[in-house]
Amino acid sequence: MKDFIFKMPTRVIFGIGKANDIGAICAEQGYKNVFVLTGPHIGKSELLVRVKSSIEGAGIACDYYDKTASDPTVELTDEVAGVVKAAGADAVVALGGGSPIDLAKAVCMLQTNEGSVRDYLFGGTKTVTNAPIPLIAIPTTAGTGSEVTAASVITDTSKNIKLSVTHESLIPKIALIDPSLHLGMPQLITASTGMDALTHAIECYVSLNAEPFSDAYALYAMRLIGENLRVAVADGSNLAARTNMALASTIAGCAFLNGGLGVVHGIAQAMGGLHGTPHGIANGLILPYAMERNFVGNLAKFRDIAVALGKNVEGLSLREAAYEAVEAVFDLVEDIHVPSSLKDLDIGPEDFPPIVEGTMNFRLLAINPCKLSAGDVEKILLRAREGRYAL
């Protein structure tokens, strides 16, 4: 077995109603001036009031910014970093989905590292040298795993690309997971973010960087998603399904922090930058088609995925059993009604060249289970345009 290092530096505090403990948690950490970052929807909700009064109730100064947007841009990140700096905050609480958490990671980094976030994006001129101010992430969706990972994905609108700042010091100090916050999530967000979590688990499990710890996390997350995502989408008030999806998302995050990702995230990141396709929608759509291409790279592990997602593989050959993983994901995509063809997104072959180019530049393509050429990526996109039953 190859040597490996498994890291999981975030303290995970998990429980229904735990968001109410944020004040006590900040006090225990010794914070004096906390800045809450969230989006306009939560900005108008009682949740922000609750979080803010819990922090202030612990005798801690608390300011907030509620205009974070999905897919944060370089400009927004730099602006919010300035607002937080002016407030003299010694810690940040990110309250929301992956976008505000990613934004908060970069904002915390820019409190102690000079310049624009653009300088620190993949291929940029600067590297993170000083420890960011601490971040507590409170996710309100179950999918990105950003509450435990090292990457902050930022959109550079001047080039229509999504890039990330990835550095271990960006990993949140605390992830406060309260599944009751997920009860009001709309169906499409539940479905698409759930597919993001599944993509993390599957891509990580078959990545060339996978190791026994990331495998254990990834496989457990897949089982939870296979058993709970349909219910969470069909009945958003089902707290048990919400709890299991919240667990799965964070566990899958721990997995891919260590094991990495693959071609699906490369394509999703390119589609996000070029077409604004939401991350979970792009992942859910591309995942089964990428698996069609990738399953030959690790038949035994794809068979494990099929079993984890509930397929009966008894009596099948290893190859047949491995292919059942692809069918399992196609079935799930159909059952939870997320887009299943690029036709649904109005993306056609004329749009493929820059998506292929962006995917080929994706840092983690190197650990995809099969080595892929630009032609291979184009074929995956063509299949995703044709749809499941075109074969």
CA 132, distance to chain mean position in Å, is: 21
What is the sign of the dihedral through the CA atoms of 39, 44, 48 and 53? positive
CA distances from 210 to 107, 170, 335, 344 (A): 30, 22, 29, 33
CA distances from 331 to 25, 124, 169, 234, 301 (A): 42, 41, 39, 15, 19
State in angstroms the smallest separation of the CB of 5 from Fe ion: 22
- Listed residue (111, 29, 26) closest to 62, CA to CA: 26
State in angstroms the smallest separation of the CB of 144 from Fe ion: 6
Q: What residue has token string 């958003």?
A: 236
Closer CB to Fe ion, 66 or 196, in the complex: 196
**What is the rounded (10 degree) CA torsion for 100, 339, 350, 269?**
30
State in angstroms the smallest separation of the CB of 197 from Fe ion: 8
- Rounded to a whole number of angstroms, the CA Rg of the chain reads 20
State in angstroms the smallest separation of the CB of 10 from Fe ion: 17
Closer CB to Fe ion, 51 or 204, in the complex: 204
Closer CB to Fe ion, 196 or 292, in the complex: 196
Residue numbers at the binding site for Fe ion (CB under 5 A): 196
CA 283/CA 83 separation, integer angstroms: 33
Closer CB to Fe ion, 55 or 264, in the complex: 264
State in angstroms the smallest separation of the CB of 101 from Fe ion: 12
State in angstroms the smallest separation of the CB of 84 from Fe ion: 25
CA 284/CA 338 separation, integer angstroms: 7
CA 291/CA 325 separation, integer angstroms: 8
Closer CB to Fe ion, 147 or 196, in the complex: 196
Q: For residue 155, give the H/E element and its range.
A: strand 151-156
State in angstroms the smallest separation of the CB of 65 from Fe ion: 24
Residue number, nearest CB to Fe ion: 196
State in angstroms the smallest separation of the CB of 64 from Fe ion: 26
State in angstroms the smallest separation of the CB of 290 from Fe ion: 13
Closer CB to Fe ion, 196 or 215, in the complex: 196
Q: For residue 48, give the H/E element and its range.
A: helix 46-57
Closer CB to Fe ion, 102 or 196, in the complex: 196
Which residues fall within 8 angstroms of residue 261, CB to CB, at 6 or more apart? 199, 200, 203, 204, 207, 364, 367
Closer CB to Fe ion, 179 or 280, in the complex: 280
- Listed residue (105, 73, 74, 75) closest to 92, CA to CA: 105
Closer CB to Fe ion, 90 or 196, in the complex: 196
